[in-house]
Structure formats: structure tokens, C-alpha cells
Amino acid sequence: SDGRRAYTFSVAAFCVIICFAATAIPVPLIAIWTQALSLTTFEVSMTVFAYVGGCLTVLLFFSKLSNYLGRRATVILTLAIGIASCLCFIAPQNASAIILGRLLQGVFLATSAAMSWTVDTAPKSHAWLGTALSAAGPGIGFILGTVLSGLSAETGIISADTLFIGLAVTLAVVLAAAIPAVETMQ
């Protein structure tokens, strides 16, 4: 029905935005963690390597996963990985927690399934919305995540731990919203 399609489109579009926002949030916090945990330049470099490595691994070896499992199932799986990444960033005790969190975010960011799901479920009368949100969603998410994290780091209004707890809860809500959504791969 049109109602379920619109619901699924909304969930998929929000998923694209929140996934990219989630992966941007740790970037401004690296400087704070570097100071608080006495991270070395090598350890900071490893956070970048882990993130890129996670992205590349998924894109090279699992990019067609959503064609086999379905868009919804793949999105649900990646959201669960995103939640796990948030847990790594809550009160990290060492570089390993941050590196693991960034690796999981790299895997999590390979949300091509959510982008495809957005295109698949765009309103038939406005099909361009799917492409537009699929293309603009990452930029919107990166800006949202970076600004939120930067404000948190600069003002101290929200602690990094609270930010990641809130993000984990948001991802869990999106995951729950994705469960009743329509599957587009049959």
C-alpha cells in the first residue's frame, strides 16, 4: 500500500542520514580522546585505517549482500553493528576501543542497502525524491554529526558518553522502525 511504502521510504531515508551522522561524530572527539588517553600518532592513524578498512572490506566483499538478504534485513544488520560501535565509544579506556569502534563504523557505513532502499521505496509520483535523498543524505548526515559532535566538544553541554548513548538509542529506534517496513527485494 502507499502508506506502507511512504513509511518505509521515511525509515530508509532517515537511516541513510543517521548512519552517516553516526560515523562523523567521533571525528571531532579524536583530539579529546588523544589527550585524555595519551594516544600516539600511530594509534590515531590506526583509527583512520580501521574505518577505511571496514568500509573497503564491506564494499569489496559484501556489496551485493542486500541483493541476497534483502534491503531491510541488511539495514537491520548494519544498524545493529552501528549500535555495537557506539558501545565502543562510551567511556573508552584505551586506543583499542576507539579503533574497534571505528572499524565497526566502517562496516556500518557501507549502507548502500539503505540508499538503495530509499530509491526503491520513493513515492511513485515523486520518484526523484529517492535519488535526491540517497545522494544528499550522506552530506546531511556528515554535517549533522560533525556539528553535533563539535558543539558537544566545544561547549561541554553534552558529554561524549551521553552523545553515544543517545546515538545508540536513536539507532535502536530506527532498527525497531525498520522491522515492520516493506522489503523491496523479493
pLDDT tens digits along 53-63: 999 988 888 77
Distance separating alpha carbons of residues 184 and 104, to the nearest angstrom: 26
Whether residue 111 has pLDDT greater than 70: no
Q: Which of 41, 181, 15 is nearest to 114 (CA)?
A: 15
Distance separating alpha carbons of residues 48 and 169, to the nearest angstrom: 25
Q: What is the pLDDT of residue 35?
A: 94
What separation in angstroms does the CA of 93 have from each of 36, 87, 140, 182? 9, 12, 31, 40
CA 50 to chain centre: 15
Mean pLDDT for 112-140 is: 91
Q: What is the pLDDT of residue 99?
A: 98
End-to-end Cα distance, the chain: 16
Query: What confidence tier does 186 reach under pLDDT thresholds 50, 70, 90?
Result: low
